[in-house]
Amino acid sequence: MTETAKNDSSDLAQIKVAARKAASAARKTAKQAAGDKASESVADAFVRSLKPASGAIVSGFLPIGSEIDVLPLLEAARGVGCKICLPCVVTPAQPLVFRLWSPGDSLVTEAFGTKAPADSAPAVAPDILIVPMLAFDRAGYRLGYGGGFYDRSLEALRRTKSVTAVGVAFAGQEVDIVPRGVYDQPLDWIVTEAGAFRPAGEE
Protein backbone atom coordinates (compact mmCIF):
# COMPACT_ATOMS: atom_id res chain seq x y z
CA MET A 1 0.00 0.00 0.00
CA THR A 2 1.32 3.46 -0.85
CA GLU A 3 1.76 6.23 1.69
CA THR A 4 -1.13 8.15 0.10
CA ALA A 5 -3.38 5.12 0.33
CA LYS A 6 -2.59 4.88 4.04
CA ASN A 7 -3.71 8.49 4.47
CA ASP A 8 -6.96 8.00 2.55
CA SER A 9 -10.01 6.12 3.79
CA SER A 10 -10.27 2.58 2.44
CA ASP A 11 -13.22 3.56 0.24
CA LEU A 12 -11.42 6.57 -1.22
CA ALA A 13 -8.27 4.55 -1.79
CA GLN A 14 -10.22 2.01 -3.82
CA ILE A 15 -11.96 4.76 -5.78
CA LYS A 16 -8.57 6.25 -6.63
CA VAL A 17 -7.22 2.88 -7.77
CA ALA A 18 -10.09 2.52 -10.24
CA ALA A 19 -9.75 6.15 -11.32
CA ARG A 20 -6.03 5.71 -12.02
CA LYS A 21 -6.68 2.70 -14.21
CA ALA A 22 -9.25 4.59 -16.26
CA ALA A 23 -7.13 7.75 -16.40
CA SER A 24 -4.05 5.88 -17.57
CA ALA A 25 -5.95 4.49 -20.54
CA ALA A 26 -7.54 7.88 -21.24
CA ARG A 27 -4.13 9.59 -21.23
CA LYS A 28 -2.87 7.33 -24.00
CA THR A 29 -5.87 8.31 -26.10
CA ALA A 30 -5.42 11.98 -25.21
CA LYS A 31 -1.78 11.86 -26.28
CA GLN A 32 -2.71 10.52 -29.69
CA ALA A 33 -5.46 13.12 -30.09
CA ALA A 34 -3.18 16.00 -29.08
CA GLY A 35 -0.72 15.42 -31.90
CA ASP A 36 3.00 15.98 -32.28
CA LYS A 37 2.92 19.71 -31.49
CA ALA A 38 1.31 19.39 -28.05
CA SER A 39 4.53 19.92 -26.10
CA GLU A 40 5.40 23.07 -28.03
CA SER A 41 1.87 24.42 -27.49
CA VAL A 42 2.19 23.74 -23.76
CA ALA A 43 5.53 25.55 -23.66
CA ASP A 44 4.05 28.59 -25.40
CA ALA A 45 1.01 28.66 -23.10
CA PHE A 46 3.20 28.35 -20.01
CA VAL A 47 5.45 31.30 -20.87
CA ARG A 48 2.61 33.45 -22.18
CA SER A 49 0.24 32.89 -19.25
CA LEU A 50 2.54 32.53 -16.23
CA LYS A 51 5.23 34.97 -17.40
CA PRO A 52 7.96 33.40 -15.23
CA ALA A 53 10.49 35.92 -13.95
CA SER A 54 14.12 35.78 -14.95
CA GLY A 55 16.02 33.96 -12.22
CA ALA A 56 13.01 31.95 -11.06
CA ILE A 57 13.71 28.29 -10.35
CA VAL A 58 11.42 25.97 -12.32
CA SER A 59 11.20 22.29 -11.43
CA GLY A 60 10.27 19.99 -14.28
CA PHE A 61 10.22 16.25 -14.78
CA LEU A 62 11.48 13.76 -17.32
CA PRO A 63 8.44 12.12 -18.95
CA ILE A 64 7.76 8.42 -18.59
CA GLY A 65 5.18 6.34 -20.43
CA SER A 66 2.46 8.47 -21.98
CA GLU A 67 3.23 11.61 -19.94
CA ILE A 68 3.46 14.83 -21.89
CA ASP A 69 7.02 15.89 -22.73
CA VAL A 70 7.81 19.06 -20.76
CA LEU A 71 11.36 19.47 -22.07
CA PRO A 72 10.21 22.16 -24.57
CA LEU A 73 8.59 23.98 -21.63
CA LEU A 74 11.83 23.81 -19.65
CA GLU A 75 13.79 25.10 -22.64
CA ALA A 76 11.31 27.96 -23.01
CA ALA A 77 11.72 28.77 -19.31
CA ARG A 78 15.50 28.80 -19.71
CA GLY A 79 15.02 31.11 -22.67
CA VAL A 80 13.48 33.77 -20.42
CA GLY A 81 16.20 33.41 -17.79
CA CYS A 82 14.81 30.75 -15.46
CA LYS A 83 16.93 28.11 -13.75
CA ILE A 84 15.85 24.48 -14.09
CA CYS A 85 15.81 21.72 -11.52
CA LEU A 86 14.52 18.16 -11.39
CA PRO A 87 13.00 16.16 -8.51
CA CYS A 88 14.94 13.44 -6.72
CA VAL A 89 13.43 10.73 -4.52
CA VAL A 90 15.03 10.48 -1.09
CA THR A 91 12.82 7.87 0.58
CA PRO A 92 9.21 6.88 -0.18
CA ALA A 93 7.83 8.73 2.87
CA GLN A 94 9.80 11.98 2.47
CA PRO A 95 9.30 15.08 0.29
CA LEU A 96 11.25 15.25 -2.94
CA VAL A 97 14.62 17.00 -3.12
CA PHE A 98 15.10 19.31 -6.10
CA ARG A 99 18.51 19.64 -7.76
CA LEU A 100 19.69 22.05 -10.44
CA TRP A 101 19.93 20.57 -13.93
CA SER A 102 20.56 21.69 -17.50
CA PRO A 103 19.95 19.67 -20.68
CA GLY A 104 23.04 17.58 -21.29
CA ASP A 105 23.92 17.18 -17.61
CA SER A 106 24.45 13.61 -16.48
CA LEU A 107 21.63 11.77 -14.74
CA VAL A 108 21.50 8.78 -12.42
CA THR A 109 18.86 6.06 -12.23
CA GLU A 110 16.84 6.11 -9.02
CA ALA A 111 15.31 3.18 -7.16
CA PHE A 112 11.98 3.60 -8.97
CA GLY A 113 13.66 3.55 -12.39
CA THR A 114 13.34 7.30 -12.92
CA LYS A 115 16.25 9.54 -13.90
CA ALA A 116 17.46 12.37 -11.67
CA PRO A 117 20.49 14.63 -11.17
CA ALA A 118 23.35 13.23 -9.12
CA ASP A 119 23.66 14.09 -5.44
CA SER A 120 26.53 16.42 -6.34
CA ALA A 121 24.11 18.81 -8.09
CA PRO A 122 23.06 21.73 -5.84
CA ALA A 123 19.75 21.33 -3.99
CA VAL A 124 17.31 24.21 -4.44
CA ALA A 125 13.74 25.21 -3.53
CA PRO A 126 11.71 25.75 -6.72
CA ASP A 127 9.54 28.80 -7.27
CA ILE A 128 7.46 27.02 -9.89
CA LEU A 129 6.76 23.30 -9.63
CA ILE A 130 5.71 21.52 -12.83
CA VAL A 131 3.66 18.50 -11.80
CA PRO A 132 2.80 15.38 -13.84
CA MET A 133 -0.61 13.79 -13.50
CA LEU A 134 -2.99 11.15 -14.74
CA ALA A 135 -6.05 13.42 -14.66
CA PHE A 136 -7.20 16.86 -13.51
CA ASP A 137 -10.40 18.77 -12.87
CA ARG A 138 -11.46 22.41 -13.08
CA ALA A 139 -11.18 22.79 -9.32
CA GLY A 140 -7.42 22.36 -9.64
CA TYR A 141 -7.00 18.88 -8.25
CA ARG A 142 -4.88 16.22 -9.89
CA LEU A 143 -4.88 12.46 -9.87
CA GLY A 144 -1.33 11.25 -9.29
CA TYR A 145 0.20 7.81 -9.15
CA GLY A 146 -0.50 7.13 -5.48
CA GLY A 147 2.93 7.66 -3.96
CA GLY A 148 2.12 11.06 -2.50
CA PHE A 149 5.52 12.52 -3.47
CA TYR A 150 4.22 15.75 -4.97
CA ASP A 151 1.57 16.29 -2.31
CA ARG A 152 4.16 15.96 0.47
CA SER A 153 6.61 18.15 -1.42
CA LEU A 154 4.07 20.88 -2.10
CA GLU A 155 2.91 20.87 1.51
CA ALA A 156 6.50 21.23 2.71
CA LEU A 157 7.37 23.96 0.22
CA ARG A 158 4.20 25.94 0.94
CA ARG A 159 5.08 26.02 4.63
CA THR A 160 8.32 27.87 3.90
CA LYS A 161 7.83 29.96 0.76
CA SER A 162 5.54 31.01 -2.05
CA VAL A 163 5.50 28.34 -4.74
CA THR A 164 3.34 28.03 -7.85
CA ALA A 165 2.17 24.49 -8.62
CA VAL A 166 1.50 23.94 -12.32
CA GLY A 167 -0.14 20.76 -13.54
CA VAL A 168 0.83 19.92 -17.11
CA ALA A 169 -1.19 17.45 -19.14
CA PHE A 170 -3.05 16.80 -22.36
CA ALA A 171 -6.44 18.50 -22.60
CA GLY A 172 -8.08 15.09 -22.93
CA GLN A 173 -7.01 14.20 -19.39
CA GLU A 174 -9.63 16.51 -17.87
CA VAL A 175 -12.36 14.83 -15.82
CA ASP A 176 -15.42 16.21 -14.05
CA ILE A 177 -14.20 15.51 -10.51
CA VAL A 178 -10.92 14.08 -9.27
CA PRO A 179 -11.41 11.94 -6.14
CA ARG A 180 -9.45 13.64 -3.39
CA GLY A 181 -8.64 13.44 0.29
CA VAL A 182 -7.49 15.92 2.91
CA TYR A 183 -3.81 15.47 2.03
CA ASP A 184 -4.21 16.20 -1.69
CA GLN A 185 -2.63 19.54 -2.61
CA PRO A 186 -4.40 21.80 -5.15
CA LEU A 187 -2.73 23.23 -8.23
CA ASP A 188 -2.39 26.96 -8.95
CA TRP A 189 -2.38 26.58 -12.74
CA ILE A 190 -3.15 23.88 -15.28
CA VAL A 191 -1.51 24.00 -18.70
CA THR A 192 -2.47 21.85 -21.69
CA GLU A 193 -1.99 22.12 -25.43
CA ALA A 194 -5.35 23.94 -25.48
CA GLY A 195 -4.10 26.73 -23.19
CA ALA A 196 -3.59 27.61 -19.53
CA PHE A 197 -6.14 28.35 -16.83
CA ARG A 198 -6.34 29.03 -13.12
CA PRO A 199 -8.68 26.68 -11.25
CA ALA A 200 -12.03 27.84 -9.95
CA GLY A 201 -11.57 29.84 -6.76
CA GLU A 202 -8.06 31.03 -7.66
CA GLU A 203 -7.54 34.73 -8.18
Q: What's 98's domain CATH number?
A: 3.40.50.10420
- Domain residues for the domain of 186 are 3-197
Residue 54 belongs to a domain = yes
Condensed to tens digits (0 to 9), the pLDDT of residues 2-56 reads 444 445 678 999 999 999 999 999 999 999 999 999 999 999 999 999 999 999 9
**pLDDT for res 41:** 98
Kindly write down the DSSP assignment for every residue of 139-194, as one continuous string: TS-EE--SS-HHHHHHHHHHHHS--EEEEE--GGGB-S-----TTPPPPSEEEETT
Integer angstrom CA distances of residue 193 from 38, 144, 148: 5, 19, 26
| Per-residue pLDDT tens digits for 142-181 | 999 999 999 999 999 999 999 999 999 999 999 999 999 9
Residue 202 domain-assigned? no
- Is pTM beyond 0.75? Reply is yes
In a domain, 61, yes or no: yes
> Is the residue at 203 inside a domain?
no
Please report whether residue 46 resides in a domain.
yes
d(CA 112, CA 90): 11
Instruction: Assess if residue 138 is contained within a domain.
Output: yes
Give the angle 186-50-69 at the CA atoms, nearest 5°.
Answer: 75
Asked if residue 52 lies in contact with residue 58, where contact means CB atoms within 8 angstroms, the answer is yes
The model's pLDDT over 104-119, given as tens digits with 9 standing for 90+, comes to 899 999 877 889 999 9
Whether residue 134 is contained in a domain is answered as yes
DSSP structural state of residue 34: H
Using DSSP's 3-state secondary structure scheme, residue 200 falls into coil
Band (pLDDT 50/70/90 cuts) for residue 91 is: confident
**CB half-sphere exposure, 134, CA atoms < 13 A:** 19
For residue 89, being part of any structural domain is answered with yes
Residue range 126-139: mean pLDDT, rounded: 98
Q: How many domains does the chain have?
A: 1
**CB 156, CB 133: distance < 8 Å:** no
| Phi and psi angles of residue 40, each rounded to the nearest 5 degrees, phi first | -65, -40
